[in-house]
Amino acid sequence: MSSSSKLQPMLDKLLLWLPLDASDQAAVLALPHTAKELRAHDFIVREDETPTHSCLLLSGYVYRHKSAGNGGRQIFSIHMKGDVVDLHSSILRRADHNVQAMTPVEVALIPSMAIRAIAADYPQVGQAMWYETLVDAAIFREWTLNVGRRDARARTAHLLCEFALRLKVAGLADSSGYDLPMTQDQLADALALTNVHVNRMLRILSEAGLIERDKRSVRILDFAQLARIGDFDSRYLHLDRIEAVAF
């Protein structure tokens, strides 16, 4: 894969949000970057660090999290191929949370100065990157609502629906299902539940004929019903520019 084509997933993601002309697209593909492979559990950003790069995820999964004073961890987003995980690092002087590899990953690290420069020199690219951060914020709000106001069954169903849709848009899932990259511990920290409670909710959804599970593989058998249980409305993902994705 050529150096410029490494950034194709970033361009594809930005094109979901706004049209970019040939010069815009060439500028994105020409961004300076360093490709790097990381192991599961490696940190990409640590809280209180001064970030120098933004991270494009080329393969695998990463997650954002913070820890409370009592040691409890809250996961508040999962990222997949094509996500520019921390565009805000090009502006903020100090990281206020952790970004960590959930699986082995390949990333492209883009200098913060280059992100700021392309946003200034190519306004449409800057707006598309701004759109990306706004969609991230919308997902954060939905996850806050999920753990704050939905019951355990609804939280679990909602997460499974979101993953199904986002993974399919990213080309990482189809109607036969998807591989859930999270361990049960990580699911518990994302849903603000105990491991035992998570396992019980997955079993309840399976026994109701809504999903099938084989280790980490998930197949959704009745998306409409699962979405109803999970109070899932995909509008917060802002995917209205692409064709509807059906399961």
Q: Is the pLDDT of residue 9 over 70?
A: yes
- List, for residues 206-223, the tens digit of each pLDDT value: 999 999 998 888 999 999
The reply to whether 47 and 85 lie within a common domain is yes
Q: How far apart are CA 215 and CA 161, in angstroms?
A: 18
The reply to whether 112 and 157 lie within a common domain is no
Which residue is associated with the tokens 């990306």?
132
Please report whether residue 175 resides in a domain: yes
The reply to whether 44 and 110 lie within a common domain is yes
Q: How far apart are CA 221 and CA 177, in angstroms?
A: 9
Which residue is associated with the tokens 């909710």?
201
Strand ranges, E, within 80-193: 98-101, 105-111, 178-179
**Domain total in the chain:** 2
CATH code, 126: 2.60.120.10
Please report whether residue 245 resides in a domain: no
Average pLDDT of the segment spanning 73-87: 91
The reply to whether 212 and 168 lie within a common domain is yes
Cα angle 37-60-231, degrees, rounded to a multiple of 5: 155
What is the b/e burial string over 54-86, where b = at least 16 CB atoms within 10 angstroms of the residue's CB?
bbbbbebbbbbbeeeeeeeebbbbbbbbbbbbb
CATH code, 232: 1.10.10.10
- Give the end of a domain, one of 142, 159, 188: 142
Q: How far is CA 228 from CA 111, 117, 213, in A?
A: 42, 44, 20
Q: Domain range holding 164?
A: 150-237
What integer pLDDT is reported at residue 176 of this predicted model? 74
The reply to whether 104 and 175 lie within a common domain is no
The reply to whether 195 and 103 lie within a common domain is no
The reply to whether 71 and 190 lie within a common domain is no
Give which of 117, 92, 88 is closest to 28, Cα–Cα: 117
- List, for residues 132-173, the tens digit of each pLDDT value: 999 999 999 999 999 999 999 999 999 999 999 999 888 888
- List, for residues 38-79, the tens digit of each pLDDT value: 999 999 999 998 888 999 999 999 999 999 999 889 999 999
Please report whether residue 29 resides in a domain: yes
Cα angle 171-177-178, degrees, rounded to a multiple of 5: 60
Where does the pLDDT of residue 242 fall: very low under 50, low under 70, confident under 90, or very high at 90 and above?
low
Give which of 198, 74, 184, 64 is closest to 133, Cα–Cα: 64
